Structure 1
Amino acid sequence: MTTDVKAIPNPVVDDTLIAQYLAENPDFFEHHPQLLKQLSLRHQERGAVSLVERQQQVLRQRIMQLEEEITDLMVTARRNEELFRAYSDLYVALLACTHLAEVMDALQETFSTQLNMPALSLKFFDSPIELDEQFTFAADTHKKLLSKRFQSANVYLGRLTEDEKKLLFPNEPIASVALILLGDKGELGMLAIGNHDAGHFEPAMDTLLVRQLQALLTKILPPLLAHQASYQAQSDDA
């Protein structure tokens, strides 16, 4: 008489289970040091190397990667500090301005000289005073730009069409811009900052500093324009 015995299937062990076990038991090779001598890994340049050598190489590569990341973070931090100092100095200078020309000089000093921005444009939509041509748009040429670039926000970062660039920077080959509407509802005017690098201003960039500048200009420009309007009226009466 024979008894049937069901065969017990061999458990399936795949790479995933092995990797999971080793991850959960990082001291495995401490308890089985003889395995380290038997294991070898293929290296693209050096052929077969021991597990210890391969671990050392991976660690060296990781250290180099971390050093590069730290260097990039230090460069970014230094750049952010320079930007913060430049904007802080600009805020102080703008608060001391008594004429529109001084405002433009302060903006030029910061963006053109300190931050190496090759182009800057300050335009007003409806001004109570007669302004130089550089501060105004011809007729209604800007309205299409406004409707296209400011549908949901009063700050635009990115690229422009050739016609839009010529409207703001007719003599400069600008590739990317920061456009900032001025006024509580964007009714006062626009500050445009241009750069030759197409990737310098991107929509995903943080806008904290430019929004602070926007708020400050919105506060200081109307009184300056009103003061100049009063001065012009007195000059005309005289």
Structure 2
Amino acid sequence: MTALTTPGMNPITEDDIANYLTNSPDFFERHAEVLASVQMTSPHGNRAVSLQERQAEMLREKIKTLEGRIMDMIRHSNENLIIADKLQRWALGLMRTDNPAELPERIVADVRSQFQVPQVAIKVWSVAPQHADAPFAQGVTEDAKTFASSLTSPFCGANPGFEAVQWLDQPAQAVSLALLPLRNGAISSAAPAFGMLVLASPDSQRFHSGMGTDFLERMAELASAALSRLRG
């Protein structure tokens, strides 16, 4: 920090000057020529500009940054509204499905089409006897059931070779995954899972560990509520 020294006196620091100017707002009224003579370097072309012009540039930059943030907020808000609308339409479709046995296939088809997920699979266990032989209730090991019950939030990330990936039509194309446990009540509850919904994409960034999972949680809870009809 630069300090101004006067013989026999303590050095005057930049903070002292800044404090004086802050507490003496009429200084530049008494010495208008000082304000007019201050020259600064512009960040655009390294040319000399007046203090007023530099302040105007700084304000324009701040306004531009704030405008960018506002546009991002509007974009995210619009995206959230679109997703919320899709969730509502999806929920209505599930409620209007009369035959419970059609629900797993309906869920898979709707998630693919409405949410543009390349691959989707679902398995449901502990179903009523009349559904025990259905494809959606077959081919699930005890390890997979235990793993599903251990999830209290959606798993999102790279494919490490989970058994559930083999439920997909093209498991080799599953680069990133979202695994949604299906259980009674909230997804975070301690209730054992009675199924799992698998979302997969060839895009490594479609599902990642840092993404928000609010909508995936709502999706899991809606699917769980609908599929509870399969359990008798």
Contact map agreement 1:182 1:217 (CA 8 A) in 2: yes
Aligned-residue RMSD, C-alpha: 3.1
Deviation track 1:114-168 (CA, whole Å, cap 9, x = no partner) reads 2211111111244441121x55435446258548x73xx2432333314557434
Q: Which letter maps to 1:96?
A: R
Corresponding residue of 1:97? 97
1:158 touches 1:202 (CA, 8 Å); kept in 2?
yes
Preserved contact between residue 100 and residue 225 of structure 1 (Cα < 8 Å)? no
Contact 1:121 1:191 in 2 (8 A): yes
Per the alignment, residue 131 of structure 1 pairs with 134
- Matched-pair contact (CA < 8 Å) for 1:156–1:179: yes
Q: How does 1:59-98 map to 2 (within 5 A)?
A: 59-98=59-98
Letter in 2 for 1:130: D
1:193 corresponds to: 199
TM-score by length of 2: 0.75
Shift of 1:17: 4.2
**Secondary structure of the residue that 2:13 maps to in structure 1?**
coil
Q: Show structure 2 runs of 5+ residues with no match.
A: 1-6, 185-190
Residues of 2 paired with 1:70 and 1:131: CA distance? Answer: 50
Instruction: Tell me the TM-score normalized by structure 1.
Output: 0.73
1:101 Cα deviation (Å)?
A: 5.3
Residue type matched to 2:118 in 1? P
Change (3 A) 1:210 1:23: farther
| 1:142 partner SS | helix
Aligned length: 215
> 1:1-238 maps to which residues of 2 (within 5 A)?
8-14=8-14, 16-19=15-18, 22=21, 29-44=28-43, 45-100=45-100, 102-127=102-127, 128=129, 129-132=132-135, 136-140=138-142, 142=144, 145-146=147-148, 150=151, 153-163=152-162, 166-169=165-168, 171=170, 173-184=173-184, 185-226=191-232
Q: Give the Cα–Cα distance (whole angstroms) in 2 for the partners of residues 143 and 218 of structure 1.
A: 15
What is the letter of the counterpart of residue 58 of structure 1? Answer: M
| Matched residue SS, 2:216 | helix
Kept in 2: contact 1:98–1:224 (CA 8 A): no
Contact kept? 1:41, 1:48, Cα under 8 Å:
yes
Structure 1 residues 186-226: Cα deviation after superposition (integer angstroms, max 9, x where no partner): 33110122233333334454444333333333333232353
How far does residue 90 in structure 1 lie from its aligned partner after superposition?
Answer: 0.9
Q: Give, in whole Å, the separation in 2 of the partners of 1:196 and 1:28.
A: 65
What amino acid maps onto 1:71 in structure 2? M
Task: List runs of 5+ in structure 1 lacking aligned partners.
Answer: 1-6, 227-238
Classify 1:24/1:194 alpha carbon distance in 2 versus 1 (closer, same or farther; 3 Å): farther
Q: Which has the larger radius of gyration?
A: 1
Please tell me the residue identity of whatever aligns with 1:137.
Answer: G
Query: Does the Cα contact within 8 Å between 1:154 and 1:186 map onto a contact in 2?
Result: no
**CA apart distance, 1:183:** 1.9
Is this contact kept in 1: 2:42–2:49, CA < 8 A? yes
